[in-house]
Amino acid sequence: MTAAEFKNAVREGKTPNFRDVDLVTCATCAVISGISAVMTIPAVGGADYRDCTSLSLNGIECIRGKVNDDGSMEVTVEAAAVSPDRTSETIPKNYCTGDLLRDIAEGKEIEIAVNGKDGILEDIIFPEDIVSARLYACIGAGENGCVLVNGGEKPLKNEHLFQPLGADFSEAFVYGCGEITPFVNDPDLRSMRAGTKILVNGIIGTIMAINDGEDSEGVFAGVKVGRPSLSVSADIKEMMPEFMGGLATKSGRESVIAVAVAIPVLDSESMAALSVLDKDISLPVIDLDKSVRVGDAGYDAVWQDADRSIEVNPLNCLYCGGCPAGSLCPRKAVILGGGIIQSRCISCGRCLNTCPGEVYSMNPGSITIKEGCKEGIKEGIKEGMSIPIKLRLSDRRRAEELCEILKEMIEDGEFSID
Per-block average pLDDT, block size 10, for the chain (418 residues)?
97 91 95 91 88 93 94 92 70 85 96 89 94 90 76 85 88 93 91 94 95 55 68 96 86 84 94 95 88 88 91 93 89 90 94 93 92 67 89 94 98 91
Which residues, in sequence order, are bridge partners of residue 76?
A: 38, 63
> Into which CATH architecture does domain 307-362 fall?
2-Layer Sandwich (3.30)
**Helix %, strand %, coil % of the chain (to 5):** 20, 35, 45
Cβ atoms of 333 and 258 closer than 8 Å: no
User: How far apart are the C-alpha atoms of 370 and 318, rounded to whole Å?
Assistant: 41
Query: Helical H runs in 151-209?
Result: 182-185
- Please give the pLDDT value at position 214: 47
DSSP 115-162: EETTEEEEEEE-GGGSSEEEEEEEE-TGGGSEEEE--SSS-B--TT-S
Determine the pLDDT at residue 218.
53
3-class SS of residue 248: strand
For residues 100 and 171, give the distance between their C-alpha atoms in angstroms, rounded to a whole number. 33
Q: Is 194 exposed, middle or buried (0-12, 13-18, 19+ CB in 10 A)?
A: exposed
Contact 62, 75 (CB under 8 A): yes
What does residue 206 show for φ and ψ, rounded to 5 degrees? -140, 140
DSSP state of 51: G
- 244 and 256 Cβ atoms separated by less than 8 Å: yes
| 242-275 CB burial, b ≥16 within 10 A, e <16 | bbbbbbbbeebbbbbbbbbbbbebeeeebbebbb
pLDDT attached to residue 380: 75
d(CA 188, CA 182): 11
Q: Pick from 2, 412, 30, 35: which is nearest to 234 by CA? A: 35
Q: Give the model's pLDDT for residue 282.
A: 85
In whole angstroms, what is the distance from residue 68 CA to residue 75 CA?
11
**8 A C-beta contact, residue 72 and residue 38:** no
Helix (H) or strand (E) holding 258: strand 253-264
Contacts with 378 (C-beta within 8 Å, 6 or more apart), sequence order = none
Spacing of C-alpha 81 from chain mean position: 17
pLDDT of res. 63: 96
Provide DSSP, 52-119.
-SEEEETTEE-EEEEEPTTS-EEEEE-TT-BPPP---SSS-TT-BHHHHHHHHHTT--EEEEEEETTE
Q: What does the domain layout of the chain look like in residue ranges?
A: 1-143+176-277+393-417, 307-362
DSSP string, 335-366: ETTTEE-TTT----SGGGGT-TT--EE----E
pLDDT at 57: 95
pTM of the entire structure?
0.92
Q: At what angle do helices 3-11 and 396-411 cross, to 10 degrees?
A: 110
Q: Report pLDDT for 317.
A: 94
